[in-house]
Amino acid sequence: MPKFFAYIVSSIDGVIATNSKTLPNWASREDWEHLQKSLKSCDAFVMGKNTFMATEKLPRRNNTFVLTNRIKSIKTQGEITFINPKGKDLKQLLGKFKKVAVLGGAKTYEYMLNNKMIDEIFLTIEPIVLGRGIKIFADETKPTKLKLISTRRLNGRGTVLLHYKISA
């Protein structure tokens, strides 16, 4: 059974992006370095269609699963698998992997959390208030208790990395 790790960068007011088309240009270099180091130990990656599109200029990783409701079941292009989670058992499909990174966006975090496919969350809080934008979790996220495992200051500006485990 794989372990699922969500990696999230957020403003202090809980915004992960100002729009669905771009990555957060306000995230720190230290957060990016932490993410890249963490992803090296993962053998599968889950993200939503908007996150996939926003990262199109970045190198693609093997075993990437893109959640989208624009298809009926599964479509594969090389190492990228597009999947409608309503049409397929995602947990079963990911069952052969050891460590799965969940990379967003809000609807993906919501789906994965609601379906018990997040074991731990690494949440970087950047010291900025954006006031508007896409919140960490979509509106239908079920209440979930977390346990704080660790906190770490990443830089002198006050970027903080919080590590949580989902409580049973």
Q: Does a structural domain hold residue 145?
A: no
In angstroms, the CA 27 to CA 132 distance is 16
Closest CA to 10 of 163, 155, 129, 124: 124
Q: Does a structural domain hold residue 128?
A: no
Q: Does a structural domain hold residue 75?
A: yes
Residue with tokens 């992803």: 39
User: Is 15 within 8 Å of 137 (Cβ atoms)?
Assistant: no
Q: Does a structural domain hold residue 159?
A: no
Summarised one tens digit per residue, pLDDT across range 153-163 is 999 999 999 99
Q: Does a structural domain hold residue 163?
A: no
Range of the domain at 95: 1-11+25-100+108-123
Diameter over CA atoms, the chain? 47
Summarised one tens digit per residue, pLDDT across range 101-155 is 999 999 999 999 999 999 999 999 999 999 999 999 988 999 999 999 999 999 9
Cα-based torsion angle of the residue sequence 20, 83, 141, 61 in order, rounded to the nearest 10 degrees:
-60
Size (the chain), residues: 168
On the question of pLDDT at 47 being above 90, the answer is yes
pLDDT of residue 103: 96
Q: What is the CATH number of the domain that holds 53?
A: 3.40.430.10
Beta bridge partners of 164: 121, 148
What predicted TM-score, i.e. pTM, was given to this entire model?
A: 0.94
Q: Calculate mean pLDDT across residues 77-86.
A: 90
Q: Does a structural domain hold residue 137?
A: no
Q: Does a structural domain hold residue 164?
A: no
Domain count within the chain: 1
Q: Does a structural domain hold residue 139?
A: no
In angstroms, the CA 132 to CA 155 distance is 25
User: Is 152 within 8 Å of 161 (Cβ atoms)?
Assistant: yes
